[in-house]
Structures are given as structure tokens and as C-alpha cells.
Amino acid sequence: MQGLKKDLLLTGAFLSALCLAPWVLPSGYYLTVLIMCCLNAMTVVGLNLLLGYAGQISLGHAAFYGLAAYTTAILTTTLGLPVALGMLAGVGLAALVAFVIGIPTLKLSGNYLAMATLGFGVIVYIFLNETVGLTGGPSGFTGIPRLNAAGLTLSSDRSYYYLTAAVLCAVVLLSLNLIRSRLGRALRALHTSEKAAQAVGIDIARYKLFIFVLSAAFAGAAGVLYAHYLTFIAPSSFGFLFSVELLVMVVLGGMASVWGSVTGAFFLTALPEFLRMFENVEIIIYGAILILCMMFLPRGLAGGVSSLAVRLRGRARPGEDDHAS
């Protein structure tokens, strides 16, 4: 109960900070960056549940993101279905595909699982590129309608930002409650030792499949929001490099940390935008920052903040004791 209260307070404070952000940003451009931060964070939280907690690596999460985006785009634009129905179908298809490919691939582990998910991602990327009549091919898919609900269209970036911020907080709260539950304990046991987990009665196949499908659904939710925000999508946005970028966000933010996932996603999504002023050396600076973070923050950004907080509390206590005496 105490953990739930803490999660609600932290998530509420985070949502409040997100809601205040548009009022202090210097221009609307930064609002677009924040929307992308929220969308990436949704996907990274799901990927961290899979990688950080269950110990299962995936190099194909960009494919789930792209499948959901193209599904809602085709259904709402080509077939003219309601946006809400198209979005539900996009998330549902991402989860269904994850279920179908998860049954055989999750029997693998380590590098073999990574290669299997990588192969899936490549297949989806080629499919999106080659089916020109359906997806528009390399030129992309245009004319996707903006999100609307109850007859109200979210035409402004600010309204769309508030929606993505709310969905992100819902994903975070769901994930925090999940890892505190019996399921979360089972996932941590899985990560430590699959044989030991199986010995104490944990159905490892079922738990691995469930968390794989859930992480794909989170990626799908981000994908459908992405499609209806930009109203244009192209296969290049959902390639192998994006999958790698998502993994880097997980590691840099902090493995097995929901708030670390959010921190890593926001940091690495916003960082390139702030490095644009260094036109010719921005890639070098970007790489140097990643190297320094890994050298001095081996537990990720979340672990570094936690360690700093512990040190500050340790320094404060002697002073408090002296004052009390």
C-alpha cells in the first residue's frame, strides 16, 4: 500500500511537471520535441520490462512501432474507418504479431533471441518498403487524419502533448504496479535464473510471452499516436537503427528501472536537438556524452541520481546530529 501511494505521488508530480512545461518553453518547436520524448518513453518503458526485468533482449521493437503506425494509417485513410477504431486495431495487431512470433522465438535466449528479433524487424522493414500500393513504399504514407475524440479534433500541438503526457503517465503507473506485483517478482526471478524460477513453479514460457506482448503493445500505442500526430510516416523511421536507439535509451536510463526508462528516453530524444548548434561535430559530442555516461554512471542515469541522493543524505545526517545535541 505504501508503495502504491509513492508511485501515485511520483507519477502525479511527473504529470504536473509535464503539464507546466509548455508554459515555460521558449517556442512551440520544443513542444514537438517533448511529444517525441513522451512517445519514445512509452516504448522504452515496455522494452525495459522485457530486457531489464525479464532479461529478454529484443532488436525488433521498432517493427511493432511501425506496424501499429501503418495499421491505423491504412485503416483510417485508405478504408475511412474511425480514428479510434484504427488506433485500437494498430495496438491489437502489434500485440497479436508479438504473440505469434513470441511463441517460437522466446524459446531462444541471449544472442540467438537478439538475432531472431532482429530478423523480424528486417522483414517488417522490407515489407513496408516493398508494398508500395499498400504502404506507399519508401516515399511514405501521407494524409493520415489528426486524432479526434467525441467530435473534437486535436489539431494543436499543445492538446496533443497533453494527451501523450497522460498516456505516458498511465503506462508508467501500470508498469510500476506490475513490477510490485507477483508477476513482477516472477519476472525478476526469470532474469536471475530461468532454471531456478522453473524449479519453484514459475511458468517461464507464459511469463516471457506475456511481457513480450505487453512491451509490443506499449510500442504499438506509441506508434499509433506518432502516426496521427505527424500525419505522415515512412519506413525509414522504423528501421534497425531506431531499435538500437531504443536499447541505448534503456541502458543509459537504467536497467530494471521504470523511471530510468523515462529519463533515458527524454535525455536521448532531446539531446540531438540541443547539439544542432555544433553543426560539424554534433555526432562526436553525442558519442562522447554517451561514453562518459557509461563510464561514470554504470547503473544509468537513474542509478546515478539515486547514488547522489544517498550521498547527500549521508552528508546531511552528521550536521543534523550535531545540531540535535
The answer to the question of residue 315 being in a domain is no
Question: pLDDT tens for residues 86-134?
Answer: 999 999 999 999 999 999 998 888 888 889 999 999 999 999 999 999 9
Confidence band (pLDDT; 50, 70, 90) for 325?
Answer: very low
Within a domain: 293? no
What pLDDT does 316 receive? 61
Residue 245 lies in a domain: yes
Give the residue numbers spanning the domain of 146: 2-274
Residue 319 confidence (pLDDT):
53
pLDDT at 26: 81
The CATH number covering residue 112 comes to 1.10.3470
pLDDT, tens digit (0-9, with 9 covering 90-100), for 50-94: 999 999 999 999 999 999 999 999 999 999 999 999 999 999 999
Contacts of 8 (CB under 8 A, 6+ apart): 173
Cα–Cα distances in angstroms (integers) from residue 129 to residues 117, 226, 238, 244, in the given order? 19, 19, 11, 20
299 within some domain: no
Please provide the DSSP assignment of 111-144 as one string. HHHHHHHHHHHHHHHHHHHH-HHHH-GGG-EE-P
Task: Establish if 292 belongs to a structural domain.
Answer: no
Note the pLDDT of residue 265: 95
- 132-190 pLDDT, tens digit per residue, is 999 999 999 999 999 876 666 777 889 899 999 999 999 999 999 999 899 889 988 98
| Predicted local confidence at residue 94, as pLDDT | 97
- Answer yes or no: is 217 within a domain: yes
Domain count along the chain: 1
| Residue 27 clears pLDDT 70, i.e. is over it | yes
305 belongs to a structural domain = no
281 located within any domain: no
Q: What is the structure's pLDDT at 225?
A: 96
Phi-psi domain of 201 (left: phi exceeds 0; alpha: psi -120 through 50; beta: other): left
Is the model's pLDDT at 310 over the cut of 50?
yes
The helix/strand/coil state of 218 is helix
Pairing of the two strands 152-153 and 232-233: unpaired
Q: Terminus-to-terminus CA distance in the chain, angstroms? A: 35
Mean pLDDT, rounded, of the chain: 89
* pLDDT, mean of residues 193-204: 87
